[in-house]
Structure 1
Amino acid sequence: MPDDATPDPYTDPLAFGQRMQILRTRRGISRPVVAGLLGMSPSWVKQVEAGQIGMPKLPVILRIAELLRVRDLSDLTGDQSAPIELFVGPGHTRLPAVRDAVNALTLSGDREAPSTEHLAARLAKAWAARHQAANHRDVIGALLPGLIRDAQLAVRQSESASSRRGAQAALSEVYSLSQFFIAYQPDPALLWRVAERGMVAAQESEDPHAIGVAAWLAAQAHRDAGPDHFDAADSMALEALAYMERFLPGADDRVRAIAGALQFEAAYTAARRGETGAAWGWWDKANATARRLPVGYYHPVTSFSQAIMGAHAVTVAVELRAGGESVRQAMGADATAIPSRPRLARHRIEEARAYHLDGQPETALATLEKAHKAAPETIRYNGYARRIVLEETESKAPARRQRAAALADQLDLLAA
Structure 2
Amino acid sequence: MHIGERIGAYRKRRGMSQDALAGLVGMSRSWLSQVERGVRGVDRLSTLNDLATVLRIDVADLIGRDWVLAPDAPEQVAAVDAIRSQLASYHHLLGEETTPWPLPQLRIGAVQVHQAYQAAEYHRATEMLPALIEAADALDGYQGRDDRETHLARCSVYVAAAKILTKVGEHQLGWLAADRATHAAIAADSKAAQGMAAYQIVIALLRSERIDDAERVAIRSAEGLMPLIGSDKPDTVSLAGSLWLISSVIAARRTDRATASERLNSAGDLADLLGHDGNHWWTAFGPTNVQIHRASVASEFGDPYDVLRAATEIDTGALPAGLQGRRSRLHIDLAWAQTQAKNDMEAILHLQQAERVAPEAIRYHTIAREIVRELLRRSRKPTPALTAIATRAGVLD
Fold in common (TM above 0.5)? yes
Measured after TM superposition, the shift of residue 409 of structure 1 is 1.0
1:374 match: 357
Out of 72, 76, 82, the position equivalent to 1:91 is 76
Q: Structure 1 residues 109 and 29, CA, compared in 2 at 3 Å: closer, same or farther?
A: closer
1:392 match: 375
Structure 1 Cα separation of the partners of residues 106 and 30 of structure 2: 49
Secondary structure of residue in 2 paired with 1:295: coil
2:112 match: 125
Q: What percentage of aligned pairs have identical amino acids?
A: 21
1:141 match: 126
2:150 equivalent to 1:197: no
Structure 1 Cα separation of the partners of residues 80 and 98 of structure 2: 26
Say whether the 8 Å CA contact 1:113–1:157 is kept in structure 2: no
1:24 match: 22
- TM-score, length of structure 2 as denominator length: 0.82
- Residue type matched to 1:167 in 2? T
- Residue type matched to 2:127 in 1? A
**Structure 2: tracts of 5 or more residues without a match:** 1-8, 53-57, 61-65
Measured after TM superposition, the shift of residue 16 of structure 1 is 5.3
Say whether the 8 Å CA contact 1:127–1:301 is kept in structure 2: yes
1:414 match: 396
Q: Deviations over 1:115-136 (max 9, x none)?
A: 434422332233234334x5x1
Measured after TM superposition, the shift of residue 262 of structure 1 is 0.6
Out of 28, 53, 59, the position equivalent to 1:79 is 59
Measured after TM superposition, the shift of residue 144 of structure 1 is 1.3
Q: Structure 1 residues 394 and 20, CA, compared in 2 at 3 Å: closer, same or farther?
A: farther
- Residue type matched to 1:93 in 2? A
Secondary structure of residue in 1 paired with 2:377: coil
Measured after TM superposition, the shift of residue 166 of structure 1 is 3.0
Measured after TM superposition, the shift of residue 74 of structure 1 is 4.6
Secondary structure of residue in 2 paired with 1:304: coil
Secondary structure of residue in 2 paired with 1:91: coil
Q: Structure 1 residues 92 and 28, CA, compared in 2 at 3 Å: closer, same or farther?
A: closer
Out of 296, 301, 307, the position equivalent to 2:288 is 307
Q: Structure 1 residues 89 and 116, CA, compared in 2 at 3 Å: closer, same or farther?
A: same
- Residue type matched to 1:24 in 2? A
Structure 2 Cα separation of the partners of residues 35 and 130 of structure 1: 28
Out of 225, 236, 243, the position equivalent to 1:244 is 225
Measured after TM superposition, the shift of residue 261 of structure 1 is 0.2
Structure 1 Cα separation of the partners of residues 170 and 118 of structure 2: 24
Structure 1 Cα separation of the partners of residues 273 and 211 of structure 2: 29
Q: Structure 1 residues 28 and 307, CA, compared in 2 at 3 Å: closer, same or farther?
A: closer
Say whether the 8 Å CA contact 2:155–2:181 is kept in structure 1: yes
Secondary structure of residue in 1 paired with 2:236: helix
Say whether the 8 Å CA contact 2:196–2:281 is kept in structure 1: no
Q: Structure 1 residues 193 and 358, CA, compared in 2 at 3 Å: closer, same or farther?
A: same
Say whether the 8 Å CA contact 2:116–2:122 is kept in structure 1: no
Q: Structure 1 residues 327 and 114, CA, compared in 2 at 3 Å: closer, same or farther?
A: same
Q: Structure 1 residues 153 and 362, CA, compared in 2 at 3 Å: closer, same or farther?
A: same
Q: How many residues align?
A: 366
Measured after TM superposition, the shift of residue 95 of structure 1 is 1.1
- Residue type matched to 1:150 in 2? A
1:177 match: 160
* Aligned pairs (5 A) from 1:7-406: 17=11, 23-25=21-23, 26-29=26-29, 34=33, 38=37, 63=38, 66=40, 69-72=42-45, 74-75=48-49, 76=51, 78-79=58-59, 82=67, 84-86=70-72, 88-107=73-92, 113-132=100-119, 136-159=121-144, 163-226=146-209, 229-249=210-230, 252-299=233-280, 301-338=282-319, 339=321, 340-399=323-382, 402-406=384-388
Secondary structure of residue in 2 paired with 1:379: coil
Say whether the 8 Å CA contact 1:113–1:154 is kept in structure 2: yes
Structure 1 Cα separation of the partners of residues 202 and 381 of structure 2: 42
Structure 2 Cα separation of the partners of residues 130 and 23 of structure 1: 36
Say whether the 8 Å CA contact 1:390–1:404 is kept in structure 2: no
Structure 2 Cα separation of the partners of residues 111 and 104 of structure 1: 11
Structure 2 Cα separation of the partners of residues 126 and 224 of structure 1: 21
Q: Structure 1 residues 248 and 314, CA, compared in 2 at 3 Å: closer, same or farther?
A: same
- Residue type matched to 2:118 in 1? H
1:3 match: none
Say whether the 8 Å CA contact 2:152–2:188 is kept in structure 1: yes
Structure 2 Cα separation of the partners of residues 30 and 159 of structure 1: 48
**Structure 1: tracts of 5 or more residues without a match:** 1-14, 39-62
Q: Structure 1 residues 148 and 280, CA, compared in 2 at 3 Å: closer, same or farther?
A: same
Say whether the 8 Å CA contact 2:376–2:382 is kept in structure 1: no
Structure 1 Cα separation of the partners of residues 270 and 106 of structure 2: 29
Q: Structure 1 residues 377 and 23, CA, compared in 2 at 3 Å: closer, same or farther?
A: farther
Measured after TM superposition, the shift of residue 178 of structure 1 is 0.6
Measured after TM superposition, the shift of residue 231 of structure 1 is 1.9
Q: Structure 1 residues 225 and 141, CA, compared in 2 at 3 Å: closer, same or farther?
A: closer
Measured after TM superposition, the shift of residue 275 of structure 1 is 1.2
